[in-house]
């Protein structure tokens, strides 16, 4: 069993690795303790203390865990308003609607009265499968589907029991509908009338869940609960936290990762009105920085701009992108660790060959809301307000920095404006930095909350990145497209090396996140070699992790084999799937059928492109129409076929696929690369690190394969197949398959 520190952030590969291990149980508590902590005034949200994680008494057999207690998740107010606590960060993916839908379904709540709120770092809000706090790996709905159904069903049984006691009736004769308990004689009681009494009822350990045919909420296209506030500008995010006496801090980071200060002059900074302190603080990767603390963002920025800094970069490597590419190419020709090791003897004798090299740059996350964390330190503990994917891990990092125990840290999870992996950092970089600044400010006499803010430039130039990769492939196949041997090499940094995940994620010298998406679902005789060079650039998972590059390589090469053997790319894939991959087949066929592929005639200068890929247990297929205008690639139309099993909220799935595809498009367009020279990132903001504009967004149609199987994730799977589908269309137009992202057509 792995300790919590190893499992607090879980990309897909780690998720699959741990599924083969015994799940890590969340802490459990006695019925007596549960009732004492449940609170009063309705079916109240529980305030499970962090000390529950360290309970010494062994739980009774069959005792419910904090993650199973409805009191921690459901609050029914006297007016019938039902507030559902969400155990994941909401940062655009729609869990603040989908998870309440699941709970409300079994609760038989009146949906018009359902609201949602974030959980915290309390043990109740850990992932029920892994027992740790996380939002990642597209597993929010997948892992909490049964959990939230059972929570709703337990709360419903407690309300029924309270009504039966009030009416002196047999509970088996009672029913529920739309927030009311109904008696056979026509009497009814609203949930708000019963909530306080229901809280005192025993929590049923076992409940009977609805037959899916009786669902009235799950599966229905539903508008998001947070849409009105977000669309009107009323939604508060982490950046909007305002506490009494709160100050703002910005940090001057080293220009080269890990560099230290040689000297600095803060006289001009301290002279700026509103600046309260200038503090030398440790920052990520062993570096040093200077924090300017002020009574607002603008004076903090002015103060930081006024600093005169001398940096010592003598002890750190200075990465140069051109030199790095040459080094990667050299590594690709050397022996390395093996993931797959098929016989390559048929390669030399194969009648046809493809030799290909692919280059993928570093990518920044650039969430719309800049990184931020507000810290309030007291003698007996500390509180954090932060939009985090890992409240447990970040709370532990805060405890280490502040010299406190983990149970002295309270993390208030805030709504976040995007993240794409950047708010799930194993080093807790910006959270730890915020705590360092708050600690230093307190030591300097500023005993007030401090909000650390990273500007867009801070994150683009000093954050974490999707690793740069080089792929090299040599494929031998026959005239019918049968692959006889596929020799493949990947060169790129390991995301998990040097982190707490190294022991579980790095096997035989190979980081599982690097190779996910390779080979499968195609029955290919592949030899896969991997090199993980050490580079002084911090790397992290980026939406869809390894599939950001492996899907592009696999799907463009499969398409190229089909074209070179004069086979239809859809028919060729279907042939390779055979009867082994029905979900891939169904998703691809749905996209084909709804796109007009093979039936309608495209305008002159346009071409079809196709790709299909599984990631995070869901399959997405794209059929696209593309052209080239004035030497630049243009994506006109995208038709998606999606297989994610049961669609909890089809409207959210549609939005997630569209958003992920747009992010996939961002990898393709000019300017979508992070490059380094003399150890410094060359890009600063959106003027240098380009993102798609509204004029780049294609027409889009999303179609979902009907299924009643338990749902799988949808936050990330829409991204990987977009770029290869686009590339395959361009290859048909130019006769030359793109081998590099962003596309270079000239």
Instruction: Output the pLDDT for position 39.
Output: 33
pLDDT of residue 27: 35
pLDDT of residue 190: 98
Any domain includes 320: no
Lookup: tokens for 723: 């770029």
Output the six-digit token pair for 678.
């003399």
Determine, yes or no, domain membership for 326. Answer: no
Q: pLDDT above 70 covers what percent of the chain?
A: 92
| Closest C-alpha among 608, 634, 633 to residue 622 | 608
Q: Are 106 and 209 in contact (CB under 8 A)?
A: yes
**Could you please report the per-residue DSSP string of 440-509?**
HHHHTT--S-EEEE--HHHHHHHS-EEPPEEEEEEEEE-TT--EEEEEEEEEE--SSTTSTTHHHHEETT
The answer to whether residues 185 and 297 belong to one domain is: no
Q: What backbone phi and psi angles, to 5 degrees, belong to 513? A: -70, -20
Same domain, 261 and 345: no
What is the secondary structure of 179-213 as a DSSP string?
TEEE-TTS-EEEHHHHHHHHHTSPPPS--PPPPGG
323 within some domain: no
Phi, psi of 273 (to 5 degrees): -60, 130
Q: What is the mean pLDDT of residues 705-720?
A: 97
Query: 453, 477, 512 — which closes off a domain?
Result: 453
Q: Which range has the worst mean pLDDT, 130-139, 372-381, 395-404? A: 130-139
Say which DSSP state 39 is in.
-
- pLDDT, one tens digit per residue, over 396-421 is 999 999 999 999 999 999 999 999 99
Look up the pTM and report it: 0.91
Residues 271 and 220 in one domain: no
**DSSP one-letter code for 539:** B
DSSP line for 264-319: EE-HHHHTSTTEEEEEEEE-GGG-EEEEEEESSHHHHHHHHHT-EEEEE-TTS---
Task: Report helix, strand or coil for 713.
Answer: coil
Q: Which of the listed residues 453, 480, 511 is the one where a domain comes to its end?
A: 453
Assigned domain for 317 exists: no
**Inter-residue contact 358 to 552 (CB < 8 Å):** yes
Query: Which pLDDT value is given to residue 128?
Result: 96
Q: Which residue has the tokens 């130039």?
A: 461
Residues 509 and 617 in one domain: yes
Indicate the pLDDT class of residue 62, thresholds 50, 70 and 90. Answer: low
Q: Which residues pair with 337 in a beta bridge?
A: 530
- 664-683 per-position pLDDT tens digit: 999 999 999 999 999 999 99
Q: What is the pLDDT of residues 218-270, one digit of tens each?
A: 999 999 999 999 999 999 999 999 999 999 999 999 999 999 999 999 999 99
**Which residues partner with 84 through β-bridges?**
74, 116
Q: Examine residue 318 and state whether it is found in any structural domain, yes or no.
A: no
Nearest partner of 306 among 314, 296, 298, judged by Cα: 298
> Is residue 382 located within the same domain as residue 421?
yes
- Which candidate, 220, 487, 259, 463, places its Cα nearest to that of 356? 487
Residue 744 lies in a domain: no
- Write the CATH number for 213: 3.30.365.10
> Is 742 domain-assigned?
no
202-227 residue pLDDT tens? 999 999 999 999 999 999 999 999 99
pLDDT of residue 63: 86
Question: 475 or 131, which is more confident?
Answer: 475
Domain check: are 441 and 425 in the same one?
A: yes
Q: Which two tokens stand for residue 163?
A: 């009504």
The reply to whether 434 and 476 lie within a common domain is: no
The separation between the first and the last C-alpha atoms of the chain, rounded to the nearest angstrom, is 53
Distances (CA, A) of 729 to 59, 86, 278, 404, 554: 59, 41, 55, 56, 15
CB 405 within 8 A of CB 417: no
Q: Which long-range contacts (CB under 8 A, 24 or more apart) does 503-511 make?
A: 503/6, 504/2, 504/6, 504/7, 504/14, 504/17, 504/18, 505/13, 505/14, 505/17, 508/337, 508/338, 509/336, 509/337, 510/337, 510/339
The residue whose two tokens read 């596929």 is 486
8 A C-beta contact, residue 187 and residue 62: no
459 domain-assigned: no
Mark which of 231, 263, 298 sits at the end of a domain: 231
* 350 and 376, same domain (yes or no): no
Residue 92 belongs to domain spanning: 4-231
Same domain, 675 and 540: yes
Collect all residues with Cβ–Cβ distance below 8 Å to 346 and sequence separation of at least 6. Answer: 476, 484, 485, 525
| Omega before 727 within 30 of 0, i.e. cis | no
Q: How many domains does the chain have?
A: 3
| pLDDT per residue as tens digits for the range 275-322 | 999 999 999 999 999 999 999 999 999 999 999 999 999 999 999 999
Q: How many Cα atoms occupy the beta-carbon half-sphere of 378 within 13 Å? A: 8
**Residue 101 and residue 24 share a domain:** yes
Do 120 and 411 contact (CB within 8 A), yes or no?
A: yes
Confidence (pLDDT) at 212: 94
Residues 291 and 194 in one domain: no
Q: Are residues 613 and 472 in the same domain?
A: yes
């Amino acid at each position: 069993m792995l300790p919590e520190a190893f499992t607090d952030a879980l990309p897909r590969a780690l998720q699959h690795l741990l599924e083969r291990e015994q799940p890590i149980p969340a802490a459990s508590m006695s019925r007596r303790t549960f009732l004492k902590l449940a609170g009063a005034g309705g079916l109240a949200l529980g305030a499970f203390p962090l000390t529950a994680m360290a309970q010494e008494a062994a739980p009774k057999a069959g005792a419910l865990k904090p993650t199973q207690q409805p009191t921690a998740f459901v609050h029914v107010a006297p007016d019938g308003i039902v507030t559902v606590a969400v155990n994941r960060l909401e940062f655009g993916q729609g869990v603040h609607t989908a998870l309440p839908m699941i709970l409300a379904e079994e609760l038989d709540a009146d949906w018009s009265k359902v609201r949602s709120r974030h959980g915290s770092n309390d043990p109740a809000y850990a992932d029920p499968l892994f027992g740790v706090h996380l939002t990642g790996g597209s597993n929010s709905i997948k892992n909490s589907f049964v959990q939230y159904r059972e929570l709703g069903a337990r709360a419903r049984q407690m309300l029924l029991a309270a009504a039966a006691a009030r009416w002196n009736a047999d509970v088996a004769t009672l029913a529920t509908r739309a927030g009311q308990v109904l008696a056979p004689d026509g009497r009814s009681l609203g949930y708000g009338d019963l909530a306080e009494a229901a809280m005192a009822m025993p929590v049923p350990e076992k409940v009977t869940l609805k037959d899916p045919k009786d669902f009235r909420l799950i599966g229905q296209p539903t508008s998001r609960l947070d849409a009105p506030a977000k669309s009107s500008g009323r939604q508060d995010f982490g950046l909007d936290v305002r506490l009494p006496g709160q100050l703002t801090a910005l940090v001057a980071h080293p220009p080269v990762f890990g560099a230290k200060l040689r000297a600095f002059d803060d006289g001009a900074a301290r002279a700026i009105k509103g600046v309260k302190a200038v503090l030398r603080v440790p920052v990520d990767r062993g570096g040093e920085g200077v924090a300017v603390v002020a009574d607002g963002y603008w004076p903090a920025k002015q103060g930081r701009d006024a600093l005169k800094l001398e940096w010592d970069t003598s002890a750190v490597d200075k990465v140069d992108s051109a030199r790095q590419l040459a080094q990667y190419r050299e590594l690709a020709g050397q022996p390395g660790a093996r993931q797959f090791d098929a016989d390559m003897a048929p390669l030399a004798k194969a009648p046809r060959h493809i030799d290909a090299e692919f280059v993928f740059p570093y990518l920044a996350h650039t969430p719309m809301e800049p990184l931020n964390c507000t810290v309030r330190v007291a003698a007996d503990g500390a509180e954090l307000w932060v939009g985090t994917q890992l409240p447990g891990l970040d709370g532990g990092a805060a405890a280490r920095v502040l010299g406190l125990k983990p149970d002295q840290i309270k993390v208030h999870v805030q709504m976040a404006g995007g993240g794409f992996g950047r708010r799930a950092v194993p080093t807790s970089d910006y959270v730890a930095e915020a705590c360092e600044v708050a600690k230093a400010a307190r030591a300097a006499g500023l005993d007030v909350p401090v909000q650390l803010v990273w500007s867009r430039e801070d994150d683009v130039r000093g954050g974490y990145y999707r690793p740069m990769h080089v792929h090299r492939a040599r494929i031998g196949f026959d005239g019918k497209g049968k692959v006889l041997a596929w020799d493949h090499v990947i060169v790129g940094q390991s995301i998990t090396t040097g982190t707490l995940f190294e022991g579980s994620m790095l096997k035989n010298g190979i980081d599982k996140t690097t190779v996910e998406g390779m080979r499968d679902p195609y029955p290919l005789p592949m030899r896969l070699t991997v090199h993980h060079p050490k580079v002084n650039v911090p790397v992290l998972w980026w939406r869809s992790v390894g599939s950001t590059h492996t899907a592009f390589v696999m799907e463009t090469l499969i398409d190229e084999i089909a074209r070179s053997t004069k086979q239809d790319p859809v028919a060729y894939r279907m042939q390779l799937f055979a009867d082994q991959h029905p979900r891939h087949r169904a998703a691809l066929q749905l996209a084909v059928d709804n796109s007009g592929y093979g039936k309608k005639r495209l305008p002159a200068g346009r071409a079809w492109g196709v790709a299909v890929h599984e990631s995070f247990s869901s399959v997405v297929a794209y059929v696209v129409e593309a052209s080239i205008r004035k030497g630049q690639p243009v994506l006109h139309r995208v038709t998606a076929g999606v297989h994610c099993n049961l669609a909890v909220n089809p409207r959210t799935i549609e939005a997630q696929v569209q958003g992920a595809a747009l992010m996939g498009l961002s990898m393709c367009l000019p300017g979508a690369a992070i490059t380094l020279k003399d150890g410094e990132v060359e890009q600063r903001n959106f003027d240098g690190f380009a993102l798609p504009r509204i004029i780049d967004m294609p027409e889009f149609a999303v179609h979902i394969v009907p299924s009643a199987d338990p749902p799988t994730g949808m936050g990330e799977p829409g991204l990987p197949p977009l770029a290869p589908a686009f590339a395959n269309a361009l290859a048909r137009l130019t006769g030359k398959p793109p081998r590099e992202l962003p596309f270079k057509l000239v």
